[in-house]
């Protein structure tokens, strides 16, 4: 059979294959340390689970409006007011099936054949793929320590073309865990606006920050499109719930897209998510953020002992982007051998970077400190044989 050519532009997400291999080794009796998938070992907070169970018991299983449960849209707006002191009209918020649903809506609205999209390299691969499926061309701009692993205003100015329509940021980013501070983010907003472009900001890891206070582009401009999620900070990965904050003029076409693409997000998940904003749940989430910070520090200390600590520590999310060029320029083979020989699962950089991915890996500090320290010991044994 012949598939449409646009599908050929979509590379496989190799971490899922590696996860399957790790799970197979685990099933065969091996003690595998999982540092590959962006999902911490914390369960969904109990207040959220209880709210979901109560919603099911009460029969809240019918469709909501395509843009989401009104009470949840108000709660998300309240979150922006409470955490960032920014007023957001709940009518600008569209609740989606995961952040992926928000990315799909934004890509279909903003990008198409003949358009160019700027984003950092490395980046979350689905960001590139959604834009490619919309028919756009991707300008993946290599970034590194000199720009804080981010697409800054200088890079936007340097790489913007006449047919560039959109710049996309991610802060904190996946896979590097780095953030733009308020000044740098404001400069990007200005650079894009000066070129009459659109700005899409992935804030999926917002709230998971360790060195900088969490921030949102919504506090700088109402004209940016903002993607967020209940999966990461709120610990609701399998509930598949996210949102898109859009400029007012974009809400009507986005609503039509939502009606046709997915109709509505999960109703029980939306009712459950209402509990994510309660003080009880906030306390749990902040304790988890502090624990992730301790895990980051323990992993950095272990890698420093091996002479492998990155020059810039990740400021947010729960990832570390590690240069392995001293040992390999084939990150896929490196990760496969590490799993086979030491039962440590990490992610090859080629999933995330078009340039440099072959000599980088991503490590997710999503398990406890004792297991992270054991993983470093196993990594040391592995590297001694390279």
Asked if the model's pLDDT at residue 18 lies above 90, the reply is no
pLDDT tens-digit profile of 177-206?
999 999 999 999 999 999 999 999 999 999
Shared domain for 98 and 246, answered yes or no, is yes
What CATH number does the domain containing 344 carry?
Answer: 3.90.1150.10
Q: For residues 249 and 298, state if they share a domain.
A: no
Please report the pLDDT score of residue 5 as a whole number. 76
Report pLDDT digits (tens) over 25-63: 999 999 999 999 889 999 999 999 999 999 999 999 999
Confidence of residue 237 (pLDDT cuts 50, 70, 90): very high
Mean pLDDT of 65-77: 98
Among residues 243, 278, 313, which one ends one of the domains?
A: 278
pLDDT by residue (tens digit) across 268-291?
A: 999 999 999 999 999 999 999 999
Q: Domain span at residue 237?
A: 46-278
Is the per-residue pLDDT at 12 higher than 80?
A: no
Say yes or no: 347 and 226 in one domain.
Answer: no
Reading the block at residue 283, the tokens are 């306390």
Residues 66 and 24 in one domain: no
Q: Of the residues 238, 260, 278, which one is the last residue of a structural domain?
A: 278
Mean pLDDT score of the chain, rounded to an integer?
Answer: 96
The answer to whether 44 and 230 are in contact (CB under 8 A) is: no
Q: Among residues 278, 295, 322, which one ends one of the domains?
A: 278
Cα(318)–Cα(363) distance, rounded to whole angstroms? 8
For residues 86 and 218, the answer to whether their CB atoms sit within 8 Å is yes
Q: Is the pLDDT of residue 157 over 90?
A: yes
Same domain for 155 and 272: yes
pLDDT at residue 146, rounded to an integer: 92
Count up the domains in the chain and report the number. Answer: 2
pLDDT at 38: 87
Continuous segment of H or E residues that includes residue 227: strand 225-229
| Half-sphere exposure (Cβ direction) of 148: Cα atoms closer than 13 Å | 20
Instruction: Indicate whether 145 and 254 sit together in one domain.
Output: yes
The reply to whether 232 and 363 lie within a common domain is no
pLDDT of 14 higher than 80? no
Q: Based on the fold, state whether residues 323 and 360 are members of the same structural domain.
A: yes
pLDDT in tens, 338-386: 999 999 999 999 999 999 999 999 999 999 999 999 999 999 999 999 8
């Amino acid at each position: 059979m012949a598939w449409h050519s646009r599908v050929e532009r979509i590379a496989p997400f190799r971490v899922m294959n590696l996860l399957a291999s790790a799970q197979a080794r685990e099933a065969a009796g091996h003690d595998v340390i999982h540092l590959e998938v962006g999902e911490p070992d914390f369960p969904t907070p109990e207040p959220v689970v209880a709210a979901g169970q109560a919603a099911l018991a009460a029969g809240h299983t019918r469709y909501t409006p395509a843009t989401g449960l009104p009470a949840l849209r108000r709660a998300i707006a309240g979150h922006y007011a409470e955490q960032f002191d920014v007023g957001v009209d709940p009518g600008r918020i569209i609740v989606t099936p995961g952040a992926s649903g928000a990315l799909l809506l934004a890509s279909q609205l903003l990008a198409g054949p003949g358009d160019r999209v700027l984003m950092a390299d490395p980046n979350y691969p689905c960001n590139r793929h959604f834009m490619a499926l919309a028919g756009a061309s991707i300008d993946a701009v290599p970034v590194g320590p000199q720009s804080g692993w981010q697409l800054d205003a200088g890079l936007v100015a340097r790489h913007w073309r006449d047919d560039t329509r959109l710049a996309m940021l991610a802060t904190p980013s996946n896979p590097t865990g780095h953030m733009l501070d308020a000044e740098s983010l404001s400069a990007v907003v200005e650079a894009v606006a000066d070129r009459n472009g659109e700005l899409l900001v992935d804030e999926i890891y917002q709230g998971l920050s360790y060195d900088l206070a969490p921030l949102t582009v919504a506090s700088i401009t109402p004209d940016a499109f903002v993607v967020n999620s209940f999966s990461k900070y709120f610990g609701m990965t399998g509930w598949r719930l996210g949102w898109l904050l859009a400029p007012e003029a974009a809400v009507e076409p986005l609503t039509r897209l939502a009606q046709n693409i997915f109709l509505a997000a999960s109703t029980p998940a939306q009712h459950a998510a209402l509990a994510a904003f309660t003080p009880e749940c906030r306390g749990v989430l902040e304790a988890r953020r502090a624990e992730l910070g301790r895990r980051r520090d323990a992993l950095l200390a272990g890698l420093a002992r091996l002479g492998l600590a990155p020059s810039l520590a990740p400021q947010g999310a729960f990832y570390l982007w590690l240069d392995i060029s001293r040992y390999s320029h084939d990150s896929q083979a490196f990760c496969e051998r590490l799993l086979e020989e030491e039962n440590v699962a990490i992610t090859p950089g080629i999933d995330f970077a078009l340039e440099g991915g072959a000599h980088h890996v991503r490590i997710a500090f999503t398990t406890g400190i004792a297991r992270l320290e054991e993983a470093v010991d196993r990594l040391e044994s592995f590297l001694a044989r390279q």
